[in-house]
Amino acid sequence: MPELPEVEVTRLSFASRITGARIQAASLGKPLRWPLGCPCETLTGRTVTGVRRRGKYLLIDLQPSGLLLMHLGMSGSVMFDTHLPPPGRHDHFDLVTSQGTLRLHDPRRFGAVVYSADEQQEPASKLLSGLGVEPLGGQFDALAFHRALKDKKATIKQVLLAGQVVVGVGNIYACEALFMAGIRPTLRAHRISRPRAERLHAAICQVLAQAVAQGGSTLRDFSNAMGQAGHFQLAAQVYDRSGQPCRHCQTPIRRIVQQQRSTYFCPDCQRP
């Protein structure tokens, strides 16, 4: 599923091109996870003033008021172009603007596009309120990160995926960051020392920044709004490499299952 780097890569690929565009029409296909929350025609005439990201949500700011929250779900992707073909069976939202059409393509329909009057009102406030600190922003502090881990008894991999301490560190990037920090994914979060927490903090920042720079990860069909695939998966140290030798010590990479998600780690490089 698209994780934070893929969502950020998507945002970067169309934000500047759609900013300043006037909405000419909007249309929905098959129902998504949540209803849009307003009649499509009420979006007509508004102007897109910018595109932000919060966790895995794209926030499309509108004038004179309102915003659209877009989530890519398990299999979603976004296209933005001046000449898109007619919507297909897996195209579920079109926002036609003076600068091109923004389209949500989602074969599994776990994605969503939701209208909110502003960020402080529902549904935006409800969807965004439980999210942790942004790892790519200046608010992600190493000391505060360690303090937050001290309150968590779950395994560190589970804490990272939950998104309440730090948002957007999905399965691929949690595995890679834990490997870079030398921490076993089964270690209980509250047992992580401050030096190890600081190494993990730095690893999270480095792995996510590297993933964004490489266009995210394309494991199946992810592409950005210009149709370009990501390449981070080619540089993965442990993710999806079960049985293959560790690139550092040659020990076979191990795979376990945590909360129905595959976890990959090196039993030699990553200590409990």
Task: Give the residue numbers marked as catalytic.
Answer: 2-3, 56, 261
The radius of gyration of the chain's CA atoms, rounded to the nearest angstrom, is: 20
DSSP 135-168: TTSTT--HHHHHHHHTT--SBHHHHHHH-SSBS-
**Looking at residue 42, what DSSP letter applies?**
G
The two structure tokens encoding residue 192: 């992580």
- Decide: helix, strand or coil at residue 178: helix
Task: Give the burial class of 143: count Cβ atoms within 10 A of its Cβ; 0-12 exposed, 13-18 middle, 19 or more buried.
Answer: exposed
Q: Report the C-alpha gap between 222 and 105 in whole angstroms.
A: 10
Angle between helices 4-18 and 194-213 (to 10 degrees): 40
Number of neighbouring beta carbons within 10 Å of residue 64: 8
What are the C-alpha distances in Å from 53 to residues 9, 12, 34, 37? Answer: 10, 10, 19, 20
Q: Report the C-alpha gap between 102 and 174 in whole angstroms.
A: 30
Whether 89 contacts 103, CB under 8 Å: no
Beta bridge partners of 267: none
